[in-house]
Structure 1
């Protein structure tokens, strides 16, 4: 990613003006003169406005040491021109080039406290931030930043919640109920629109929201009562995008104001379409067979990703990743943010997922704009970037320029999307002018499984163009897509990143028609919340020549496809059903009957390893990689993942193979089942395909001796329904070590395992033990009834079980004869009524073994 900033600096030192002098004003004018910001100082108090749009309104900041909203005296003003040129990995426009005029106003306040006000203005709007220049710690207790909106100005507002998933409302600035509203907020003031937003928020500060007192004045309220940081402190930008709706929707101002990319090489960041099963079938992420079916579907249609949401299990994910990658599909995994909220978890979990071959993460439920949560973003972002793991933040804050600074963030939720199972056309037509302006929006579109909707099929398909997201999670069952072949054909062609974006027509709450370009193809798509009629889109943006226009729209009996030849300056007229939509692909006309490009799956290959399994610390492995038919494939490389001399072929044709032999060793200190992968990598149609097969080597740990507590033994494997298995503590919550003393019906047990159904723990006995005993039951820490069953297995054979135990039941003594057992597995299931509150204790879990 490239970034260039050029600046011309002009410094004007002004004498101190007395605090009681009234009427001082300065302007900062955009390079093209389209926007003029006005800064005022009256009786020592600052104001900010934009000529012709936003009247002057009070601004300022308070710290624990000084009130910098009053008693201010100007010391000097400096000015410069800032040019920002940079490239994004996703978004409405990949290549960005903007010029801003900047002025810095330096003030002193009571007691000599210092404040800089930095104002930037571009053709798209204006922004300001506060800079507290001093060194040392500083605590901000609040801002007096505000925007004065005419009371009768139409407004599109989002009642504030920390996950930004409330329903948008259309009102007026003055009639909006008193309370908090989330960014961005849109107002129409006369014939001009103003969208208020934030940019450049990180752990030095907290996120803000707009607070309306009921009079049309909107002030900035911070998520925390106070924020503390080391100086000098630069606050986030307070942003106003102003202009017509085309200016607002096309604006990149929140990105332009954000820090430059912190990642030099972004070649590994890969946007794309994602098949996602959770919305249409919540239980499917726990089913590896079903997930492989989604992989097969994605492979057939060349969708690059499958997202496995909540419910996945470490016991089968690595092999599912291998299965997917061999078919040209990468796996994304869901995680609750608390699984990554400590340095220890990040240092353990992230490398493990990377070693499995996972391409990216959906991290969920942050649900806070507080400074502590932004400090967590500051930690997770470089940690994931270092491992080349892409990210989608769900249950998250709204975009504030993060995708520029950390371009591996491909999308954020912060929207009441299709997963709420209630879709309304009127709301859908608000998002292009508000939430989606500021960054990628993970709405999860095109969902016929959402039956509570008033949108047409063409409206649903059009969302995948109208809504911008670097990962476009197409959220229905793949069988539903296959029963809509015309829709699926279009979805297979639609890009997710764009070289250009233009609003052609629309109005929030009524309609939106956008044109987006990817390479030499344009896509025009529209959604409506109006009665049946038609829409007309001017094609003046097209280059000269003839263009094939293929339109997918609602017909009398389902989706229909129509084609025509058009030229620059023609008008594209499309009939619309009530609450309907359309998608038109435009490509240079060459005589072909369609704009579609071939969708060719990755060729089927075979990788075998011999032996597939072994025991010990070293193993001699022979691997053969075969292309049975088709091809050719090029730049073929076969080698162990951990290193070794590769065997290579410049080209393999159908029926040809590549074979290599290596002596592999398990990592020092490893115990249990260790996978030693062999990897074949090749190039096909410009893409790199990764095929992997692992030799599973078992390294036995020392067998237990004498009387041994299970919680003191190393785990060969573990899975748990919520968080990790806990040793000598109850399950607690999501994080490791957050449990309580193991307690069953009031009795505390110092030793044992705390689990959450469904769970399994396997330990090595090595045929050295004769008996296992434990007290089992639902831990007292749960506040609602849970139900579980406990099972003991030896080398996969059932040895003992409890039947269903409930929260009120006494502790159940469980014993098993483990004579001759090499692997002991302790399993917990959910009792048949779901896993909620199923905190299952293996209290006093003990083994009697030979020796001492």
Structure 2
């Protein structure tokens, strides 16, 4: 029996040695672990690495084998633990996301979401836990931190984005109202300072727009901090301490998103909406996008204080079949004198009379109101039911001017309460969309942009907005201010084109009735444009130089082009589908706006004569014999 025993022992030892030899490489990998994430071979790919010495995480992104984001730190610090280092890997979970949803506004109404999600769990030696959730789609990579209850307040993130130093960068200087202008730099040459967290970069891997999604009062808004001479952009929170409540359970931070692809992909992307939670409005049938006659730049506070002036604006909107008229500051300037203990206190305002007058003419009323008058629950209980009872359709709320946690908690309240009272919302002096329009579809538009009111805008800034601010959601730039000659950097035809180049669920037109009547081609074009789109395509673009977009409603494509620099013949690929198209354009002529008509095939190049810092607007409809106009 001795020989068989010796043979068995030898076989066992040989097996153990073989096992050790085969497991050694796997153990080495565990000390320097890495994970990759992608939804398809042609899609952007993220790589997360855990350093075997420091326990630090870094994330990089590539597309088509080329660098998009260089290895960048990932981590978060709470009052209980530093979760940016000394981490060890615990386990991994994967799932596939395949969703459909419908919006009320935006680049297209029907949405399809396909993403791969991976949840990686880590812990420190002391047992503090961190889950990192990564999502990958065809047009983006995003990650967020999930912390268990009891983690304490958040003191900051070590999150950052490392860009190649020579990457082109289009950055907007950070402001609390998000109204900084976008200018071009390289990643390393941008001056030391803080920038909007919607920042566009171009590398040999394509374009990448940094963004944020699913920001609520459970956290703090972010901006990008940069030191000149490096390509690093650090995430800096608006609050030095983000307050948390254990009763709320685990904390999921906002998504740090990277919208990635060629310029057409980035421009068309709905990635930040796709990352956001599903709609909280059960029945959004009362939410209706549309064109708005906005009277602030047309008449100022004096018009806002005049019932007669507002009735005249309503009448003009009705003549044009524009569905809304907006009454800006001044209409409730005596509100503090109203006796709100009187059940009929609202009769002290002429607003109900205006609403009734407008309703009879098929026009809805939108009213401006200062955030300080909706600051408390008591104030909201005073105003919101009253506005609903009057028949007001939407509120334009102004001067939040903060992305700190207390203001974000106010957003959480006002969003739910305006939805309950069937009031659409336009936020001014505000945060930027960050997925809000998927979760709260009655948010029709937000400012968060250096728009028409600004007197220092440049043509380059105007041609950058479709690739930066407007990528992430509706933008209330308020185009159409023809009367502001000398106060805007563009031509009349470009001003018409902005109404399509810039997407907004409530497209607030900022001109005077007189300025429209003096430009009948512009007026007729505005009569045609919808504010909700079935599809959006970039036809031609170079940030800071040109942007030509096509947006479809039914079987018609609306075209908008804006340009910076000298006069030229703009060449616009008509990538709107096969067949023959009648294309009508509104262009700048020697004596004003002129119309041009031509029949082209899909895929042909549309040539448009553009003046210096000019542009164009257009409509393309299927051509057949006898069709002489796209206007209906």
Pairwise same-fold verdict (TM > 0.5): yes
- 1:570 equivalenced with 2:599 (yes/no): no
Contact 2:539 2:575 in 1 (8 A): no
Which residue of structure 2 aligns with residue 783 of structure 1? none
Structure 1 residue 589: Cα displacement: 2.4
1:591-606 alignment to 2 at 5 Å? Answer: 591-597=626-632
Task: Choose which of 555, 561, 582 in structure 1 pairs with 2:589.
Answer: 555
Structure 1 residue 136: Cα displacement: 4.3
Which residue of structure 2 aligns with residue 128 of structure 1? 143
Structure 1 residue 170: Cα displacement: 1.0
Which residue of structure 2 aligns with residue 271 of structure 1? 289
How far apart, CA to CA, are the structure 1 residues paired with 2:355 and 2:575?
46
Deviations 1:751-805 (A, max 9, x none): xxxxxxxxxxxxxxxxxxxxxxxxxxxxxxxxxxxxxxxxxxxxxxxxxxxxxxx
How far apart, CA to CA, are the structure 1 residues paired with 2:30 and 2:151?
32
- 1:311 equivalenced with 2:339 (yes/no): no
Task: Choose which of 419, 424, 431 in structure 1 pairs with 2:465.
Answer: 431
For structure 1, the 5+ residue unaligned runs are 1-13, 598-852
Which residue of structure 2 aligns with residue 249 of structure 1? 267
Structure 1 residue 239: Cα displacement: 0.4
Which residue of structure 1 aligns with residue 36 of structure 2? 27
Contact 2:578 2:603 in 1 (8 A): no
Number of equivalences: 580
Which residue of structure 1 aligns with residue 49 of structure 2? 40
How far apart, CA to CA, are the structure 2 residues paired with 1:129 and 1:18?
28
2:497 alignment partner, SS class: helix
How far apart, CA to CA, are the structure 2 residues paired with 1:412 and 1:577?
30
2:198 alignment partner, SS class: strand
1:506 alignment partner, SS class: strand
Which residue of structure 2 aligns with residue 478 of structure 1? 513
Contact 1:429 1:508 in 2 (8 A): yes
Deviations 1:77-133 (A, max 9, x none): 11111112111100011111121111111001131011100000111010000001x
1:450-461 alignment to 2 at 5 Å? Answer: 450-451=484-485, 452-461=487-496
Which residue of structure 1 aligns with residue 547 of structure 2? 512
- 1:146 equivalenced with 2:160 (yes/no): yes
- 1:106 equivalenced with 2:131 (yes/no): no
1:286-685 alignment to 2 at 5 Å? Answer: 286-313=305-332, 315-451=349-485, 452-544=487-579, 546-590=580-624, 591-597=626-632
Contact 1:19 1:73 in 2 (8 A): no
Structure 1 residue 231: Cα displacement: 2.7
Contact 1:321 1:356 in 2 (8 A): yes
The 1:137–1:228 alpha-carbon spacing in structure 2 relative to 1, beyond 3 Å, is farther
How far apart, CA to CA, are the structure 2 residues paired with 1:195 and 1:84?
23
Which has more strand, going by share of residues? 1
2:211 alignment partner, SS class: strand
Contact 2:211 2:257 in 1 (8 A): yes
Structure 1 residue 421: Cα displacement: 3.2
- Greater relative CO, 1 or 2 (CA 8 Å, sep 6+): 2
Contact 2:139 2:259 in 1 (8 A): yes
1:339 alignment partner, SS class: helix
How far apart, CA to CA, are the structure 1 residues paired with 2:578 and 2:389?
47
Deviations 1:689-746 (A, max 9, x none): xxxxxxxxxxxxxxxxxxxxxxxxxxxxxxxxxxxxxxxxxxxxxxxxxxxxxxxxxx
For structure 2, the 5+ residue unaligned runs are 1-22, 333-347
Deviations 1:821-844 (A, max 9, x none): xxxxxxxxxxxxxxxxxxxxxxxx
Contact 1:458 1:582 in 2 (8 A): yes
2:524 alignment partner, SS class: helix
Task: Choose which of 151, 154, 169 in structure 1 pairs with 2:183.
Answer: 169
The 1:348–1:29 alpha-carbon spacing in structure 2 relative to 1, beyond 3 Å, is same
Which residue of structure 2 aligns with residue 85 of structure 1? 100
2:606 alignment partner, SS class: strand
Which residue of structure 2 aligns with residue 234 of structure 1? 252
1:239 alignment partner, SS class: strand
Which residue of structure 2 aligns with residue 119 of structure 1? 134
TM-score of the pair, normalised by structure 1:
0.67
- 1:178 equivalenced with 2:192 (yes/no): yes
Contact 2:324 2:366 in 1 (8 A): yes
How far apart, CA to CA, are the structure 1 residues paired with 2:29 and 2:226?
29
How far apart, CA to CA, are the structure 1 residues paired with 2:385 and 2:459?
42
Structure 1 residue 424: Cα displacement: 2.4
Which has more helix, going by share of residues? 2
Structure 1 residue 280: Cα displacement: 2.9
Contact 1:448 1:480 in 2 (8 A): yes
Contact 2:436 2:443 in 1 (8 A): yes
Rg comparison, structure with higher value: 1
Structure 1 residue 138: Cα displacement: 3.0
1:418 alignment partner, SS class: coil
Deviations 1:274-326 (A, max 9, x none): 11111132121111111111100000001111110010035211100100010
